[in-house]
């Protein structure tokens, strides 16, 4: 029996190597990929207009009998147009085609066709420009709702419409419905056959809606079932059970006492580590909530039990910061730490590789450099990833795979509402550090317009003259941007030339070489530069206690959670800190969002509001590497379906945990396939 999911498109009529290659560029490899290559929009061409009623500058479907032969009009090389006239019982129109010498073969005088195209009216001449057409007895591109697909060179709308339509006809009988019948019924979802047909060729907007709802549900449902199963099987995996979980010597060596939130989370981690099962835990904590020291407790426990540990950070600055903060404390207990990053010299690297392999080094701090093949641990038992949202699942797994049944701890400062966390991190246990250490500086936050610019510039100068440092963050500018945005580079040039020629300034943006970024960052950390202009690349956990001022340009362009992250870069030292949000416009929506920023410092509250106002897109934007890539579901629009499918997934696994019932065969197949792609 054919399984459309495994059938190569080359088996379809009319698709050879060349076409298959072009389709591959669209991510289409199997018959099922083709059938789930969804339109981005539709054109409603159902209404047929009389020629007399045509309106200038609109698109319309017209039925007409061809009354002239095709005439050819050469304009210049590369531009020839072809004309013919059609009529209906209200008038005459001229169809104009460009560079299409084959028309004569298709459009015969005396026959009736349907045309769809843009209408141009000049005086009493009615023109239809570059229309699509078909015999009036057909309705594939006229008189119906027509799908519009994203294209690539060599692939046309017409080709996709026809190929998908033919493939649907030939393969419909082989479809596999991954939503079990009882769930279809409970949630009033249509069949997979109906859904695929109507997502491409809906007869009306209602059937499109029904089809879409089911496909969105399906996509979320498979994902959530897969994540829950992964979590379940992960939690059963046997791991190294640490026997000594007394961390009090480490705790008492700290210059502060742990907050109760830190204690709770540390307790959860230690319980995992001694449970005999492999830990797979995410620690969420607002910026500055003190995640590093929680991680350090786990590192300490690991080494105390005779194993090695690794802690990976997304940037060199951050990795070095962890190393500098923690190794002095840990070395008091005879724990040997090393720092491994891209800029570690070859000689040092060799030495570190050797000592990790023979066990002389207990803890390796570092960047991606930790996951290269050269790094071999003697006895890795704990892998920590900081600022998880900057890494992919794959990288996390690569670090963990450097040992056997390694305990995994990931930390993130992106507060995610619980409902979303279940999706983004549904395969992990979650701990939350829900309070800040005492004595934190308030960060006064102001939202201002252009009229305040000079005063803010003076304020920046004043802060710098006091010995403090300032960040100025600009949005990343896309190439095709139309709005006048401050780009980091431009802004840096202007400021350093005209406003602060006497103040050492630095710049960091995404297009710089990694090495230059690091240099620029560490110049700011050390105080060589006093003002740092950057894009959001500094968003991640850098600790510069002397920084007291965060200025954000075009703040309306950022998600609230992102603004909150950025603001968290200041207020880390003894001095009072400030955050200034420059807004380019003040619509109602922007005002509302900025108000929350000026009123709240609670990352979770801010993220909940962000979710309500902007939808969840921003949270997923941060999960890079496209691991969770939705074909049709849109987290912003389909949030209620997301919840419903989560409940369905939970219920399904409760009733049939191993998905071994026959009616669950296809959902089992789909989740296993997805789980594999997520962890490969
Ligand atoms: P984040 O959660 O953003 O990674 P860090 O771990 O970098 O936060 O901690 C921010 C700052 O708070 C550090 O300077 C750290 O030493 C300090 N800190 C952490 N825990 C406490 C505590 N319990 N009491 C006081 N200061 C703390
Ligand atoms: Mg941190």
Residue minimizing CA distance to atom 19 of ligand 1: 290
List the domains of the chain with CATH numbers: 1-35+149-171 (no CATH), 47-143 (2.40.50.140), 248-275+290-412 (3.40.50.300), 443-600 (3.40.50.300)
| pLDDT at 372 > cutoff 50 | yes
- 566-580 in b/e form (b: 16+ CB < 10 A) is bbbbbbbbebebbbb
565 vs 310, more confident: 310
For residues 519 and 506, give the distance between their C-alpha atoms in angstroms, rounded to a whole number: 10
How crowded is residue 16: how many other Cβ atoms within 10 Å of its Cβ?
9
From the CA of 325, give the closest atom in ligand 1. Answer: 16
234 vs 46, more confident: 46
Residue 209's pLDDT band, with cuts at 50, 70 and 90, is very high
The residue whose two tokens read 């089809």 is 211
pLDDT of residue 392: 62
pLDDT of residue 480: 45
Residue minimizing CA distance to atom 14 of ligand 1: 572
Q: For the residues 197-215, what does the mean pLDDT come to?
A: 95
pLDDT one-digit tens code per residue, 89-134: 999 999 999 988 888 889 999 999 999 999 999 988 999 999 999 9
Residue minimizing CA distance to atom 15 of ligand 1: 290
| pLDDT at 625 > cutoff 60 | no
For residues 478 and 670, give the distance between their C-alpha atoms in angstroms, rounded to a whole number: 36
pLDDT of residue 627: 46
pLDDT of residue 331: 96
- 225-258 in b/e form (b: 16+ CB < 10 A) is bbbbbbbeebbeeebbebeebebeebbeeeeeeb
| Residue to mutate (ligand 1; options 282, 288, 318, 538; most atoms within 8 A of CB) | 288
For residues 333 and 338, give the distance between their C-alpha atoms in angstroms, rounded to a whole number: 15
| pLDDT at 219 > cutoff 50 | yes
CA distances to 25, 160, 161 from 150, rounded to whole Å, are 11, 10, 12
- Structure tokens belonging to residue 21: 């290659």
- 477-511 in b/e form (b: 16+ CB < 10 A) is beeeeeeebbbbbebbeebbeebbeebebbbbbee
- Please report how the helices 205-236 and 665-679 are oriented relative to each other, as an axis angle in degrees rounded to 10: 70
| pLDDT at 79 > cutoff 50 | yes
* Most confident residue range from 183-197, 230-244, 407-421: 183-197
Residue 390's pLDDT band, with cuts at 50, 70 and 90, is low
What is the Å distance from ligand 1's center to 654 Cα? 40
212 vs 642, more confident: 212
For residues 210 and 188, give the distance between their C-alpha atoms in angstroms, rounded to a whole number: 9
Please answer whether residues 160 and 150 qualify as being in contact, where contact means their C-beta atoms are separated by less than 8 angstroms.
no
For residues 173 and 164, give the distance between their C-alpha atoms in angstroms, rounded to a whole number: 15
| pLDDT at 337 > cutoff 70 | yes
Ligand nearest to the CA of 543: 1
pLDDT of residue 560: 85
Residue 54's pLDDT band, with cuts at 50, 70 and 90, is very high
The residue whose two tokens read 């709702």 is 145
pLDDT of residue 413: 77
| pLDDT at 499 > cutoff 60 | yes
Residue 418's pLDDT band, with cuts at 50, 70 and 90, is low
Residue 484's pLDDT band, with cuts at 50, 70 and 90, is low
The residue whose two tokens read 């050390």 is 526
230 vs 67, more confident: 67
Give CA 350 to chain center in angstroms.
Answer: 36
pLDDT of residue 601: 84
Please answer whether residues 619 and 424 qualify as being in contact, where contact means their C-beta atoms are separated by less than 8 angstroms.
yes
Residue 573's pLDDT band, with cuts at 50, 70 and 90, is confident
419 vs 7, more confident: 7
20-29, 417-426, 432-441, 487-496: the lowest-pLDDT one: 417-426
What is the Å distance from ligand 1's center to 261 Cα? 12
Residue 494 makes CB contacts below 8 A (sequence gap 6+) with: none
Using CB distances shorter than 6 Å, the residues near ligand 1 are 256, 258-259, 262, 285, 287-293, 413, 437, 541, 543
| Residue to mutate (ligand 1; options 256, 286, 290, 546; most atoms within 8 A of CB) | 290
Q: For the residues 605-632, what does the mean pLDDT come to?
A: 61
One DSSP character per residue, 147-172 reads EE----TT--HHHHHHHHHHHHHHHG
pLDDT of residue 134: 93
Residue 574's pLDDT band, with cuts at 50, 70 and 90, is confident
Q: For the residues 125-149, what does the mean pLDDT come to?
A: 93
The model's pTM: 0.67
Task: Measure the N-to-C terminal CA separation of the chain; round to a whole number of Å.
Answer: 28
| pLDDT at 617 > cutoff 70 | no
53 vs 640, more confident: 53
Which is it for the CA torsion 247, 248, 253, 255, positive or negative?
positive
Q: Which residues pair with 531 in a beta bridge?
A: 470, 505
From the CA of 291, give the closest atom in ligand 1. Answer: 2
> If you average pLDDT over every residue of the chain, what do you get?
89
| pLDDT at 482 > cutoff 70 | no
pLDDT of residue 23: 93
- Structure tokens belonging to residue 590: 């922007």
| pLDDT at 335 > cutoff 90 | yes
Biggest alpha carbon–alpha carbon distance for the chain = 96
| pLDDT at 288 > cutoff 70 | yes
Counting residues of the chain whose pLDDT is more than 90, the rounded percentage is 63
The bridge status of strand 407-412 relative to strand 429-433 is: unpaired
For residues 532 and 522, give the distance between their C-alpha atoms in angstroms, rounded to a whole number: 11
pLDDT one-digit tens code per residue, 250-267: 999 999 999 999 999 999
Residue minimizing CA distance to atom 26 of ligand 1: 437
pLDDT of residue 626: 38
Burial of 451 (0-12, 13-18, 19+ CB in 10 A): exposed
What is the Å distance from ligand 2's center to 541 Cα? 5
pLDDT one-digit tens code per residue, 530-558: 999 998 766 566 778 899 999 999 998 88
From the CA of 289, give the closest atom in ligand 1. Answer: 2
78 vs 120, more confident: 120
From the CA of 257, give the closest atom in ligand 1. Answer: 23
pLDDT one-digit tens code per residue, 504-515: 999 998 788 878
Please answer whether residues 363 and 337 qualify as being in contact, where contact means their C-beta atoms are separated by less than 8 angstroms.
yes
Please answer whether residues 387 and 367 qualify as being in contact, where contact means their C-beta atoms are separated by less than 8 angstroms.
no
| pLDDT at 479 > cutoff 60 | no
Assign 3-class secondary structure to 545-572: CCEEEEEECCHHHCCHHHHHHHHCCCCC
pLDDT one-digit tens code per residue, 463-477: 999 999 999 999 876
Cα angle, residue 266 at apex, residues 678 and 362 outer, rounded to 5°: 75
Q: For the residues 409-422, what does the mean pLDDT come to?
A: 74
pLDDT of residue 623: 35
């Amino acid at each position: 029996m054919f399984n459309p999911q495994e059938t190569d498109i080359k088996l379809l009529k009319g698709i050879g190597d060349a076409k298959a290659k072009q389709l591959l560029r669209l991510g289409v490899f199997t018959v099922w990929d083709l059938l789930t290559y969804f339109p981005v929009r539709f054109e409603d061409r159902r209404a047929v207009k009389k020629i007399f009623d045509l309106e200038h500058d609109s698109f319309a479907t017209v039925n007409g009998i061809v009354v002239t032969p095709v005439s050819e009009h050469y304009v210049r090389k590369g531009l020839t147009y072809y004309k013919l006239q059609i009529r209906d019982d209200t008038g005459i129109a001229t169809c104009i085609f460009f560079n299409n010498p084959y028309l004569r073969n298709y459009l015969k005088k005396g026959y009736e066709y349907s045309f769809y195209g843009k209408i141009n009216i000049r005086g009493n001449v009615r023109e239809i420009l570059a229309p699509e057409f078909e015999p009036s007895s057909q309705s594939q591109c006229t008189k119906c709702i027509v799908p519009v697909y994203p294209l690539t060179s060599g692939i046309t709308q017409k080709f996709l419409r026809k190929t998908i339509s033919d493939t649907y006809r030939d393969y419909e009988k082989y479809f596999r419905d991954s939503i079990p019948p009882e769930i279809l019924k409970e949630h009033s979802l249509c069949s997979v056959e109906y859904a695929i047909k109507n997502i491409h060729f809906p007869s009306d907007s209602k059937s499109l809606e029904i089809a879409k709802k089911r496909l969105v549900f399906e996509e979320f449902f498979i994902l959530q079932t897969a994540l829950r199963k992964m979590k379940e099987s992960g939690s059963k995996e046997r791991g190294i059970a640490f026997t000594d979980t007394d961390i009090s010597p480490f705790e008492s060596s700290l210059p502060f006492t742990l907050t109760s939130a830190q204690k709770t989370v540390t307790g959860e981690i230690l319980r995992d580590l001694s449970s005999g099962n492999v830990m797979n835990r995410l620690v969420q904590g607002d910026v500055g909530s003190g995640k590093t020291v929680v991680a350090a407790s786990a590192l300490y426990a690991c080494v105390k039990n005779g194993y090695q540990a690794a802690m990976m950070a997304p940037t060199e600055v951050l990795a070095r910061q962890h190393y500098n903060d923690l190794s002095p404390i840990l070395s008091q207990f005879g724990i040997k730490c090393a720092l491994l990053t891209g800029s570690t010299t070859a000689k040092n690297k060799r030495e570190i590789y050797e000592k990790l392999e023979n066990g002389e080094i207990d803890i390796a701090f570092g960047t991606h450099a930790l996951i290269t093949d050269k790094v071999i641990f003697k006895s890795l038992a704990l892998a920590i990833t900081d600022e998880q949202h900057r890494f992919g699942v794959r990288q996390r797994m690569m670090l963990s795979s450097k040992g056997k049944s390694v305990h995994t701890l990931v930390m993130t400062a992106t507060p995610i509402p619980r409902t979303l966390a279940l999706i983004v991190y549904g395969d992990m246990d979650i701990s939350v550090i829900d309070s800040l250490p005492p004595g934190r500086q308030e960060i006064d936050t102001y939202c201002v317009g252009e009229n305040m610019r000079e005063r803010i510039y003076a304020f920046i100068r004043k802060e710098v003259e006091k010995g403090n440092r300032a960040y100025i963050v600009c949005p990343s500018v896309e190439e095709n941007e139309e709005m006048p945005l401050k780009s980091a580079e431009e802004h840096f040039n202007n400021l350093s030339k005209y406003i602060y020629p006497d103040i050492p300034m630095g710049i960091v943006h995404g297009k710089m070489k990694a090495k230059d970024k690091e240099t620029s960052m560490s110049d700011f950390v050390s105080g060589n530069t006093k003002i740092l202009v950057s894009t959001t690349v500094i968003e991640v956990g850098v600790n510069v206690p002397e920084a007291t001022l965060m200025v954000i340009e075009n703040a309306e362009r950022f998600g609230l959670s992102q603004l909150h992250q950025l603001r968290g870069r200041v207020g880390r030292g003894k001095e009072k800190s400030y955050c200034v949000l420059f807004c380019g416009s003040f619509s109602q929506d922007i005002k509302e969002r900025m108000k929350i920023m000026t009123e709240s410092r609670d990352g979770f509250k801010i993220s909940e509001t962000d979710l309500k106002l902007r939808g969840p897109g921003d949270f997923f934007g941060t999960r890079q590497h496209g691991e969770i890539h939705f074909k049709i579901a849109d987290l912003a629009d389909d949030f209620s379906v997301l919840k419903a499918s989560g409940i369905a997934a939970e219920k399904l696994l409760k009733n049939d945990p191993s998905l071994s019932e026959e009616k669950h065969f296809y959902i089992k197949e789909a989740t296993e396939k997805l789980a594999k792609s997520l962890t490969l």
